[in-house]
């Protein structure tokens, strides 16, 4: 079975809803164990960093273990940046299939996330590149690269902002 455009969109919308609903454990199931989750920085020349091993990143997890640790800290209130938990609303648009390899597709889409905490609402926006793969358990994200366009932010950025 190949991954259709509608299947990909449904998956992306579900992942965003799980973040908005703070369904952390269910959100983690959207990711393959070997996922690479990366948000590069913009350098001084207004170019994205290219190597998470040797250059700065806003977020970098080379596997789902890092995401699991992050969720653990959020759920157990061991994250000062997430206490109290913010209210978010994720919006996804311009979903495109860039490559189709039957059981794996590369997607590009835009996002806007509204984040409300301490009586202030912040907006985060950008473009996300995802490899979505078909597994025995269903669709899973194999890699995710987030290009945050408003990278001058006044707080710690976290997985629920994007």
Q: What share of the chain has pLDDT > 90, as a percent?
A: 70
Per-residue pLDDT tens digits for 63-85: 999 999 989 888 886 555 555 67
Q: For the domain 5-161, what is the CATH code?
A: 3.10.450.50
118 — pLDDT class (breaks 50, 70, 90): confident
Q: What is the percent of the chain where pLDDT is above 70?
A: 94
Cα distance between residue 126 and residue 149, in whole Å: 5
> Strand order of the sheet with strand 120-135?
57-61, 31-40, 138-148, 120-135, 104-117, 87-100
Burial class (CB in 10 A: 0-12, 13-18, 19+), 12: buried
CA–CA dist 40, 144 (Å, integer): 11
The string of pLDDT tens digits covering residues 127-148 is 999 999 999 999 999 999 999 9
pLDDT band at 161 (very low <50, low <70, confident <90, very high): confident
């Amino acid at each position: 079975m190949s991954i259709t455009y509608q299947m990909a969109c449904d998956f992306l919308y579900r992942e965003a809803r799980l973040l908005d609903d703070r369904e952390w454990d269910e959100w983690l199931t959207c990711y393959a164990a070997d996922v690479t989750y990366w948000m590069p920085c913009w350098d001084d020349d207004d170019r994205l960093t290219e190597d998470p091993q040797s250059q700065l990143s806003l977020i970098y997890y080379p596997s789902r273990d890092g995401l699991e640790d992050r969720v653990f800290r959020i759920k157990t209130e061991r994250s000062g940046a997430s206490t109290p938990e913010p209210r978010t609303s994720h919006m996804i648009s311009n979903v495109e299939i860039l490559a189709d390899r039957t059981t794996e597709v590369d997607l590009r889409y835009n996002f806007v996330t509204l984040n409300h905490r301490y009586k202030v609402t912040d907006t985060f926006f950008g473009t996300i590149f995802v490899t979505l793969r078909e597994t025995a358990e269903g669709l899973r994200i194999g890699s995710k690269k987030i290009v945050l366009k408003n990278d001058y932010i006044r707080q710690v950025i976290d997985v629920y902002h994007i």
